[in-house]
Amino acid sequence: MTMTTATAGNQAQQPQPQTIGFGNVLHSEWTKLRTVRSTYWTAGIAALASIALGALICARTAYNIKHGRQSLDGFDATLASLDGLYIAQVAIGALGVLTISSEYGTGMIRATLATVPQRRAMLAAKLLVFAVATFVAGEVMSFAAFGIGQQLLGSAHAGISLSDPAALRATIGGGLYLTAVGLLGFGMGALVRNTAGALSAFFGTLFALTVVDDLLPTNLRNDVIPYLPANAGSQIITVVHTAGSLSPWAGLGVLTLYGAAATVAATVLITRRDA
């Protein structure tokens, strides 16, 4: 508690960079992401959901096939093993929201922006760190879920291997799908800034749009359905497509556009709004 201002003279001793570099901001954002518990909670839930749920579905399907209760007609073995991603996406989206909204909620944003006044650079660094982390974790989950799921389905001779180009695309697509959903969460978090509001906007966009779609006239509805975020994005993890759906990559692109639109809007606004 004794106070000596040993703080002075510090500048003379150590060489310091002339300006803040983007690398500095990336480094900082990575530290932020890895030093809060919510990151590990959401990643843990996502991993559990994608791997355990996928395994459960595949085990049950294998049992049904072996006992003649399910035919292999139109069966999508890849999607069966990746079904858990539909639950994992909720956790990943929430993490995307929290990554930015928690800064506003706690007041940390003011310390952040006082350190890095280049707000767009800060937002870009935060997004990049989150997206790369989500992509890497998402690919691990997707490949693990596929591997375990196909092992289980194999017992009923219903499995598929990664040598199948569509199965490989879908499994790689699993990580991409989670990243695109994470981007939507991040964009909503950056745009709305309040955690509860941003979570609502995220879930609303991902799921509730489907309900709104029912209000449209029938002839229009069929034109719109493939472009809803969940429908579009899920094509990348689907091997056996239903008629009228978008192609895998176009679908992923459409889902990504939703998140990109929210993120771009937030990027435009961030320098105009008071922090």
Contact positions toward another protein, by CB under 8 A? 1, 3, 5-8, 10-11, 14, 16-21, 24-25, 27-29, 31-32, 35-38, 102-103, 106-108, 110-118, 272, 274-275
The smaller minimum CB distance to another protein, of residues 108 and 208, is found at 108
The smaller minimum CB distance to another protein, of residues 119 and 169, is found at 119
Written as six digits, the tokens of 20 are: 């803040």
Q: Three-state SS for 107?
A: coil
User: Using an 8 Å Cβ cutoff, are 129 and 66 in contact?
Assistant: no
Written as six digits, the tokens of 116 are: 């890095």
CB of 142 to another protein, least distance (A): 28
Query: Which residues are CB-neighbours of 219 under 8 A, at least 6 positions away?
Result: none
| Element of type H or E holding 133 | helix 119-154
Residue with tokens 């569509």: 166
CA distance linking residue 203 with residue 31, whole number of Å: 28
The smaller minimum CB distance to another protein, of residues 111 and 216, is found at 111
| Element of type H or E holding 163 | none
CB of 121 to another protein, least distance (A): 10
CB of 108 to another protein, least distance (A): 5
The smaller minimum CB distance to another protein, of residues 103 and 139, is found at 103
CB of 3 to another protein, least distance (A): 5
